[in-house]
Structure 1
Amino acid sequence: MSKELDQSHSEHVHDTNNEKKDAVQTPDAIATALNNVGAPSPWGKGHLKLYMACALIYLCSTMNGYDGSLMGSINVLSEYQEYYGLGDTGSTSTGLVFSIFQIGQMSGALFTWICDWRGLAPTLSSFIAARFLLSFFSTINTVAAPMLLVEIAPPLQRATVAGTYNTLYYMGSIIATFTMYGANIHLSGNIKWRLPLWLQMLCPGLVVLGSWMLPESPRWQVAQGKNEAAREFIIKHHANGDAEHPIVAIEMQEIHDSLVEVQGRSRWACFDLRSLYKTRARRYRLMLVIAMSWFGQFSGNNVSSYYLPLMVENVGITSTNMVLLLNAFYALSGWVAATIGARLHDIVGRRKMLMGSCLGMSIALAIVAATAAEYERSGSTPSSSASIAFIFIFGVVFAVGFTPMQPIYPAEVLANDQRANGMMVFMITSGCAGFVNTFAAPVAMKNIRYWFYVFFVFWDLFEFTIIYFFFVETKGRTLEELTAVFEARNPRKASTKRVSEPEC
């Protein structure tokens, strides 16, 4: 088999200038082959070992979730506000403290060198600088993690295995919010907000300790000339040890074909951004990355994540303990919903899940706006309760559709030689969207209150329209098979044609 693959590879070396020859397999090659022999068991020994490695990678996702819920919870503590002289929760300073994380995220996507460590004084500007550094270095981690997951995940379980990554965002939120709730009850003074900040080191520390045991991507191994190592990985983890299973030959062939164009490139080629836009198909891929990264941060979710305490305060909930407890249960409900959504994306498909989520979010926010307006007018307790309920429903709907796919869908739609630079664009774009949200939100909620939700009602409907007309369906296809989809005259239409698929 190795000789056949090497021979096939040599036959394609001279086609490096024609991207359309990158994909020899038809878009449903794996589906057709596996219908004849059956798919490898997702509970086989090789799959289970791969899941254990993925579980460690998932911890990278807790970093952003921890920060989002931590800062929203800390911001309601009087000790924290007095220590840094913040005062008003709707101030520009609050927006800057929150949004500096997105600025660090955008910077971290561009630079990878190590900053000198220096001591910092206990001032607000020092705290903001520390949050910038936190985001800067966590970005490098959170870019690499979904890329690795997408490349090592079994093709038929890619959305479930890789999509579970971003659900751990909520695990970080759960740790942060319940820590804050317990600290507020049992501790006093500045330690009640310092302790949760220190615990932010927990999950990154576990990743550092276990990272030496993680497998390499088979695509990276083939690119480095380690064909046998890549084949062994696919046999062990995708075929459960069956070297004769057709999925082994198909995946190896597709990886070889997709890497033909990048063979012989210099090590500096990764800085050449032309790979992102040099053909129509690549521009389409880039458009999807930008759209998904913006939608994932600008659907109203960042506002509810960082400013949930302020949102519930606007509808009459002012007890600090109750606000912290609601924040904790918001994170818990989001994690359950996102975990279910990760599996549903492999069953229902990416497009239907994302479109359904957009409609659900729009309806939920419309009800939040209406009930919040009624509470402001009459002080009605039922209106306040309904507002809180639909804030939670909004979070659940977003978590089911968007959370599993936020970093995974961009990594899926990018070509192999686009993926690193494309994920850089993903992080910069999502950072821009998150910055606009978190910086403007406190001022907007203070001044225009429930009308801020009305804006997202219509924006989420706009997202639905873009997804319907342009987003491709990636369910059931390998990363290499998607090349044929993007080369089609209408990629969205080509991706939604019915193909015969084995059960995942």
Structure 2
Amino acid sequence: MADKRNDDMAERKASIDSDLKVVEAKEYEGINLDMAQIMDGPDKPNPFGPGYLKLYALVALLIMNSTMNGFDTSVMSSINALPNYVEYYGLPSKGAASTGIVFAIWQIGQMVGSLFTWLADWRGRKFMITFGVLGVMIGTVITATAPTLGAFIGGRFILSFFATLAHLGAVIYVVEMAPTRYRGTVAGLYNTFYYFGSILATSAVYGAHLHLSDRGNLDWRLPLWLQMVCPGLVACGIWFYPESPRWLLMKDRTEDAQRVLTRYHANDVPNHPLVELEVREIVASLRDEPPVTEWKTFFDLRQLVKTRGRRYRLALNVTFAWFSQFSGNNVISYYLPSLLKNVGITSTNLKLLLNIIYAIVGWIFSTAGANCHDRIGRRKMFLISTMGMVICLAITAGTAADFDNTGNKSSSSASIAFIYVFGAVFSFAYTSMQPIYPTEIISNDARAKGVMCYKLTGGASGFLNTFVTPIALENIRFWFYVFFVFWDLFEFVVIYFFFVETKGISLEELDEIFEAPNPRKASTAVKRMQKRVVVDADGEVREEEIKHA
């Protein structure tokens, strides 16, 4: 069996070597240019050309998948403040483990769902998205009609499981389809619609409570039904999508991949040097580490740790996954009404309205941040945002403590204000990059496995956060903010010394960055060594190093 697998691997490498030679033999005016030369030269594709506009349309519809997490976070946060919901399932009026598990089951579903990311490599990114959104619609029906708390929790697990498949499939697809120069913006916009989902959910609950609170359980059941709207739109459109070019090349479908890249990255210009470069780089990255094609080996994680560079990638992947869920953000997202109650806000309608405002603030700042990642850079924005969160949480803790001890209304107002400032600061740098940064730092052949590790870690972090938060808020109150002040300071140090910059670097060029002695320094160096492939007078292909200031 092992001999057969080795023979298959050898045959696969020989096939990729053959493809690489064919691609490298094609020259453009005698030289195969590098990414910087193409994107800064006369052959730069028009980012508003017909192909790019089609790509933006594809991403725009797929972004609807991102609304699912935001919708769930806010719909649960909002209905948790409704007396009809609390009384129907017999939930405690104060924070307790029974309330926490209703929220935290979402993270459990995410962790289980992440174990099935091998579907993205086995059947394709499109298949995983389609399977996920159809399952979400089934989960929505179960949740919205659940007669008991057990059925409600079970429905939320199913909903989360399939939402995770749809979400992760979409993340991988968007990262792989997005052009290198615009990846931060195009792919970064994906997760900003987390807040669009939040706005839909909080607005629906607010309106339903305002007009339907005297009509049984419609004020909380109706918003739950709306959870299938956005994935339903994706389910209708995904059939018309092309497959990811990187997946196509993994399956030896070179011509199909070239057609996709030509249409969406080169505005249908035949033999464009950008397409030749992208295909060459992808094929070369697969030559040294051919992708696994048997589903039984998808859980072999040695591929993620076999070299020092790959271990660095994985460490960065899981570290960011933890940071993005455990920086104080989940506490506020899920339990904003409880936080408001702690500083004197008791009106249900006012708490729901403030929930809507929080989501709108997050969407504005996350969208602005998505447009800055390709200008400022991922790493710089993480550092700025993390220090901003430290300051906001410190002020929130101090003002909440003063209100707790003295009942000072000014302190209450200041505490609420800085909760919103915290949301804006976090959203600006983190929201758009939450699924994107961990995905782009993993190599082509192991991306699905890396995404699985990212989601498992994020799910564990989120579960801990949402399960213990109601208990912590009830028992230590404002001291919970203080804990995150020191934790976020720790995050700042880790980001400064270890996080790699990915702005303007293709997914394949990152392979060289992570093999450097210090990947963080290599990615932030003022002068970066790059290579181009040239064809000499004898027809031989060779690599030539060039320096860029």
TM-superposed CA distance for 1:202, in Å, is 0.7
CA contact (8 A) 1:163 1:405 kept: yes
Deviations 1:284-312 (A, max 9, x none): 00001101110110011111100001011
The residue number in structure 2 matching 1:156 is 181
Equivalent residue for 2:282, pick from 244, 255, 265: 255
The residue number in structure 2 matching 1:134 is 159
AA in 2 matched with 1:83: Y
TM-superposed CA distance for 1:10, in Å, is 2.4
The residue number in structure 1 matching 2:406 is 378
The residue number in structure 2 matching 1:223 is 250
Aligned length: 482
- Partners in 1 of 2:272 and 2:194 — Cα distance? 36
Deviations 1:111-147 (A, max 9, x none): 4899999988622122111111111111111111110
SS at 2:280's partner residue? helix
What pairs with 1:276-315 in structure 2 (closer than 5 Å)? Answer: 276-315=304-343
Flag structure 1 segments of 5+ consecutive residues without an equivalent: 1-5, 14-27
Runs of 4+ residues deviating >4 angstroms: 111-121
Moved more, 378-387 or 425-434: 378-387
Deviations 1:127-179 (A, max 9, x none): 11111111111111111111000000011000101111100100100000011
What pairs with 1:350-365 in structure 2 (closer than 5 Å)? Answer: 350-365=378-393
2:191 is aligned with 1:166: yes
TM-superposed CA distance for 1:265, in Å, is 4.4
SS at 2:81's partner residue? coil
CA contact (8 A) 2:324 2:434 kept: yes
TM-score by length of 2: 0.84
Moved more, 157-166 or 239-248: 239-248
- Partners in 1 of 2:270 and 2:436 — Cα distance? 28
Equivalent residue for 1:465, pick from 465, 469, 493: 493
2:68 is aligned with 1:68: no
CA contact (8 A) 1:75 1:89 kept: no
Deviations 1:439-470 (A, max 9, x none): 00011011100000011111111111111111
Deviations 1:76-125 (A, max 9, x none): 11111100111323121111111111011111112489999998862212
TM-superposed CA distance for 1:266, in Å, is 3.9
Larger RCO, structures 1/2 (Cα 8 Å, 6+ apart) = 1
SS at 1:347's partner residue? coil
- Partners in 2 of 1:215 and 1:83 — Cα distance? 46
2:99 is aligned with 1:100: no
TM-superposed CA distance for 1:241, in Å, is 2.4
- Partners in 2 of 1:92 and 1:8 — Cα distance? 54
AA in 2 matched with 1:146: V
2:458 is aligned with 1:453: no
Deviations 1:408-442 (A, max 9, x none): 00110000111111101111100000001000001
- Partners in 1 of 2:376 and 2:58 — Cα distance? 26
SS at 1:417's partner residue? helix
The residue number in structure 1 matching 2:223 is 196
Moved more, 242-251 or 60-69: 242-251
The residue number in structure 1 matching 2:170 is 145
CA contact (8 A) 2:321 2:454 kept: yes
AA in 2 matched with 1:45: P
TM-superposed CA distance for 1:262, in Å, is 4.3
- Report % sequence identity: 55
**Residues 195 and 287 (structure 1 numbering): CA distance in 2 closer, same or farther, change over 3 Å?**
same
The residue number in structure 2 matching 1:392 is 420
TM-superposed CA distance for 1:264, in Å, is 7.5
CA contact (8 A) 1:89 1:310 kept: no
- Partners in 1 of 2:325 and 2:293 — Cα distance? 35
AA in 2 matched with 1:167: T
The residue number in structure 1 matching 2:448 is 420
What pairs with 1:476-487 in structure 2 (closer than 5 Å)? Answer: 476-487=504-515
**Residues 71 and 264 (structure 1 numbering): CA distance in 2 closer, same or farther, change over 3 Å?**
closer
- Partners in 2 of 1:121 and 1:206 — Cα distance? 24
Flag structure 2 segments of 5+ consecutive residues without an equivalent: 1-13, 22-32, 120-130, 531-549
TM-superposed CA distance for 1:7, in Å, is 10
CA contact (8 A) 1:53 1:215 kept: no
TM-superposed CA distance for 1:381, in Å, is 1.3
The residue number in structure 2 matching 1:46 is 51
AA in 2 matched with 1:184: H
**Residues 89 and 29 (structure 1 numbering): CA distance in 2 closer, same or farther, change over 3 Å?**
farther
Moved more, 229-238 or 306-315: 229-238
- Partners in 1 of 2:148 and 2:41 — Cα distance? 66
**Residues 222 and 444 (structure 1 numbering): CA distance in 2 closer, same or farther, change over 3 Å?**
same
- Partners in 2 of 1:30 and 1:179 — Cα distance? 46
SS at 1:76's partner residue? coil
Moved more, 157-166 or 32-41: 32-41
